[in-house]
């Protein structure tokens, strides 16, 4: 009897049927998929991101109208994929410099896996998001950016995405351990990838606004005026204005 079985013998061919196995994120299975079925894994993750985050985006966008649901359903996966591709080169360079011996393609796949896991979680939250949107007072002429319902939806969107992102990254940590004996290196690389993806992702999301609703006009894929300015400049300006106002008040 042949007992010399390899780990790959225990793995099914990656397909929609093995989605539950992917979600369990067993480091050994994921490692084998990264090494032996990389191209298939890339397409699997891209598909999962499009379907998972797209479903969630559509659930949020439907608060305004079906067209906004379609746009948000396209834009949310676009943010994730553009962030992954935009930072692919940088993440691939930083990993070996920080001590993780992964190739460019492997680092790209690893980041994609974490986003795919997050998108899977988002897909799971889509029904919750839809329920919350259904319970939110509908959008009308009286709705303003300062309206509580708008603030509630914004917070919900951000909160659920943050939760999904954290889960995706936490699940990636044991997998990174497959390429290094040092847990500190794995943590460092994960932190740096998280920082770079957050930095670029915030700006891409800023450019691709609106996701929920554009009070300035008709439903559009991207508001032309939103192509100006950056997320960080706006945050900096808002903080500065706040500080000046506080100085005046005191």
Partner 1 sequence: MNELNPTAGPIPPAIPTPPRLTKPLALGEDPADREPISGPLVAVEAILRAPRRIMYQLRQPGSGRLITAMLLVSILCSLIYGLVVGTFSQGTQLWAAPAKIAGGLLVTALICLPSLYIFTCLSGSEAKLSEIFGLVTGLLMLMTILLIGFAPVAWLFSQSTESVVWMGVLHLIFWFISTMFGLKFLDSGFSHFKAKTSAGLYIWVMVFILVAVQMTTALRPIVGKADDFFPKQKQFFLSHWNESLNAPGKPAGQ
- Per CB under 8 A, residues contacting partner 1 are 3, 5-7, 9-12, 28, 31, 86-87, 89-90, 92-94, 96-97, 101, 178, 181, 196, 199-200, 203-204, 206-207, 227-230, 232-233
- Smallest gap from residue 236 Cβ to partner 1 (A): 8
- Smallest gap from residue 154 Cβ to partner 1 (A): 21
- Dihedrals φ, ψ of 185, to 5°? -65, -45
- With beta carbons less than 8 A apart as the criterion, state whether 61 and 70 touch: yes
For residue 216, the SS3 value is coil
- Smallest gap from residue 3 Cβ to partner 1 (A): 5
Nearer to partner 1, 12 or 138 (CB): 12
CA distance 69 to 176: 36
Nearer to partner 1, 15 or 230 (CB): 230
Structure tokens at 198: 């957050």
- Smallest gap from residue 115 Cβ to partner 1 (A): 17
For residue 136, the SS3 value is coil
Nearer to partner 1, 195 or 216 (CB): 195
- Smallest gap from residue 99 Cβ to partner 1 (A): 11
Nearer to partner 1, 70 or 86 (CB): 86
Nearer to partner 1, 5 or 142 (CB): 5
- With beta carbons less than 8 A apart as the criterion, state whether 77 and 53 touch: yes
Closest CA to 126 of 208, 52, 193, 199: 52
For residue 222, the SS3 value is coil
């Amino acid at each position: 009897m042949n007992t010399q079985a390899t780990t790959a013998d225990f793995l099914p061919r990656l397909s929609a049927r093995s989605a539950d196995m992917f979600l369990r994120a067993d480091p050994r299975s994921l490692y084998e998929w990264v090494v032996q079925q990389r191209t298939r894994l890339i397409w699997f993750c891209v598909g999962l991101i499009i379907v998972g985050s797209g479903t969630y985006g559509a659930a949020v966008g439907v608060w305004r109208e079906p067209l906004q649901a379609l746009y948000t359903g396209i834009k949310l996966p676009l943010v994730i994929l553009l962030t992954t591709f935009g930072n692919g080169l940088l993440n691939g360079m930083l990993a070996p410099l920080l001590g993780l011996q992964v190739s460019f393609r492997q680092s790209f796949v690893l980041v994609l896996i974490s986003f795919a896991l997050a998108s899977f979680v988002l897909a799971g939250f889509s029904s919750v998001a839809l329920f919350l949107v259904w319970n939110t007072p509908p959008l009308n002429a009286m709705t303003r950016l300062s309206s509580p319902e708008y603030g509630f939806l914004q917070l919900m969107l951000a909160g659920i995405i943050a939760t999904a992102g954290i889960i995706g990254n936490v699940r990636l940590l044991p997998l990174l351990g497959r390429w290094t004996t040092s847990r500190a290196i794995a943590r460092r690389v994960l932190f740096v990838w998280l920082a770079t993806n957050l930095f670029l992702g915030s700006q891409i999301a800023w450019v691709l606004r609106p996701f929920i609703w554009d009070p300035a006009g008709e439903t559009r894929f991207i508001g032309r005026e939103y192509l100006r300015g950056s997320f960080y400049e706006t945050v900096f300006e808002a903080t500065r204005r706040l500080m000046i106002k506080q100085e005046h008040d005191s």
